[in-house]
Amino acid sequence: MVQVRMEASILGANDLLARKNRGIFARQGTLVVNLMSSPGSGKTTVLERSIDYLHDRLRLGVIEGDLYTDQDARRIEKKGVPVKQINTEGACHLDAKMVGEAFESIGEKLDLLFIENVGNLVCPAEFDLGEDFKAVVMSTTEGNDKPSKYPLVFREARVVLLNKIDLLPFTDFSVEQFREDVAKINPHAPVFMVSGRTGEGFEAWIEWLLEEVRKKRAEA
């Protein structure tokens, strides 16, 4: 009971800071996307490919969440995009305080900020960072049971990316089943099929994302 109350109060504090972040992002007209997935689903590779498409068209920034390392941040740096690493030192998700500080330290006016959360299908879904929306990346090698086993992350996401479609022929994964399962949990979320490795399928996802950036700008 004490634990439950403590968790409620931590979440409450986080929500206040998330609201503050949301205000800052809104004033700057920055669209903020919180990328979530299990470890190894290819979030960083999807991000790299997306940056290749968007780099010349938008002012981009990235916040990288990892337990201890800065490997992903160094990968993004090579793309010439401002990036800030957050090390959670063992914590299984980013929180709004970490993100607010990281965004401040980037200190540039951005059209689009990607936040790559810690690789984890459970905890990150519970924490509002002030983002415009959450995106979940799942790969075809993870199996068809994931939406029903991790419903919160699929329910919280505005958009779903099914990655590693180049490996589809070598797996038992059913795309049709996946689409049905996602639709049961989250009927309005578009599902984009991509391969971070080959680049297949990125056009549709990028067009969708650009439309979201346009809408955000129109609001600002």
By beta-carbon proximity to its own copies, the closer residue of 40 and 80 is 40
Tell the smallest beta-carbon distance from residue 51 to its own copies (Å).
18
Token pair, residue 97, equals 């305080």
By beta-carbon proximity to its own copies, the closer residue of 2 and 218 is 2
CA angle, residues 71, 209, 27, in degrees to nearest 5: 85
Binding site for its own copies (CB under 8 A): 2-3, 6, 10, 38-42, 66-69, 71, 90, 92, 118-123, 126, 138-139, 141-143, 145-146, 148-152, 164, 166-167, 170-172, 197
Distance, CA of 105 to CA of 110 (rounded, Å)? 13
Tell the smallest beta-carbon distance from residue 119 to its own copies (Å).
7
By beta-carbon proximity to its own copies, the closer residue of 27 and 149 is 149
Distance, CA of 14 to CA of 218 (rounded, Å)? 28
Decide: helix, strand or coil at residue 64: strand
Q: Which residue, 124, 172, 126, is CA-closest to 137?
A: 124
Tell the smallest beta-carbon distance from residue 136 to its own copies (Å).
11
By beta-carbon proximity to its own copies, the closer residue of 33 and 185 is 185
Tell the smallest beta-carbon distance from residue 172 to its own copies (Å).
8
By beta-carbon proximity to its own copies, the closer residue of 77 and 212 is 77
DSSP classification of residue 48:
H
Distance, CA of 34 to CA of 170 (rounded, Å)? 30
- 64 contacts 73 by C-beta, under 8 angstroms: yes
Tell the smallest beta-carbon distance from residue 5 to its own copies (Å).
10
Decide: helix, strand or coil at residue 109: coil
